[in-house]
Amino acid sequence: MRMIRAAIAGASGYAGGEIARLLLAHPDIAVGALTASSNAGTRLGDIHPHLTPLADRVLLDTTVETLAGHRVVFLALPHGASAAIVDQLAGDVIVIDCGADFRLADAQQWQHFYGSSHAGTWPYGLPELPLPLGHKGREALSGARRIAIPGCYPTACTIALAPGFVAGVLETADVVIVAASGTSGAGKSLKPHLLGSETTGSMSPYGVGGTHRHTPEIEQNLSAAAGQPVTVSFTPTLAPMSRGILATCTARVRPGVTEATVRAAWDAAYGDEPFVHLLPQGQWPRTADVLGSNNVHLQVALDERTGRVIAVTAIDNLTKGTAGAAVQCANLALGLPETTALPTAGVAP
């Protein structure tokens, strides 16, 4: 079978480099053009030394001409940069956008949180998203030509709580989420507050008070699962690690809900999912256990005293949180087995 060529725009960043890493193991997709902005003209190996098979590739300018001729184009660009490129790509090209440009359906929410014009809405790239009447998010992705990859926080938080809303066991108000992310979630650009001397041995909150840009995306996903609006209080924190997200998500249960009912709802949602693993009771997710994998580790419990469900997820923000989801969705769009080239074992210690 002839290899499918895929270009990666923004290959010098963390997400772009992770896409390249995963594609190196893909039996059906070959890495084509690798592009960048300020790093154009640089050897990839000077930026991503771990990508040894691609080390001598020179990063090209991110232009429509460079991206043309590829069956798949992965966009790992800053927010707001994808729309202008997409408009010039042929309609039969599969475009997988890892940025936020096409995730939100509500133009007003986009304008409020991102401060620019809304570019539109694409099929949302979370295949495992449980929806009413037994549907899943992947139904909109098979054969799609434009796919918006979720944010890393929304991936962890949505998978944590969506089963409870689909099953009708959770209240739609008073949803509280506190999540910790590694520093790679902020990208590769130099930022003083992300220096090792600032982050080592310290945790700090940011985007406090409902201001984080992923808040409307989390609410959009949980509302789709519930079939009615869901409001969320979301507080992200920065953890002294390079990769990973640990999301602790709580919501009130409806009257009469038991521990058995809760576990049955989550098991029904994800029992046949290859990447989402509801852990045995008593075992809790750790970011170290999903490092480098496309897995989501999940645990759920009912606090009977307060009448709240606590759902905790761990993901690698660069794999399942971004690049792994991008490759997973590309597989679905191309009609390939969904799990192709996606690691299901983490790296330890």
Q: 42-45: long-range contacts (C-beta < 8 A, 24 or more apart)?
A: 42/12, 44/11, 44/12, 44/20
Distance CA 147, CA 120 (A): 12
Q: Are 74 and 19 in contact (CB under 8 A)?
A: yes
Q: Using DSSP, state whether 19 is helix, strand or coil.
A: helix
Active-site residue flag, 152: yes
Cα-based distances in Å from 244 to 30, 143, 202, 294 = 27, 30, 16, 11
Candidates 120, 186, 127, 130; CA nearest to 153 is: 186
Please pick, among 152, 157, 249, 329, the residue that the annotation labels catalytic: 152
Q: What phi and psi values does residue 61 have, to the nearest 5 degrees?
A: -65, 145
Q: Are 319 and 292 in contact (CB under 8 A)?
A: yes
- Tell me which residue has tokens 């009413």: 132
Distance CA 250, CA 284 (A): 15
- Residues designated as active site: 152
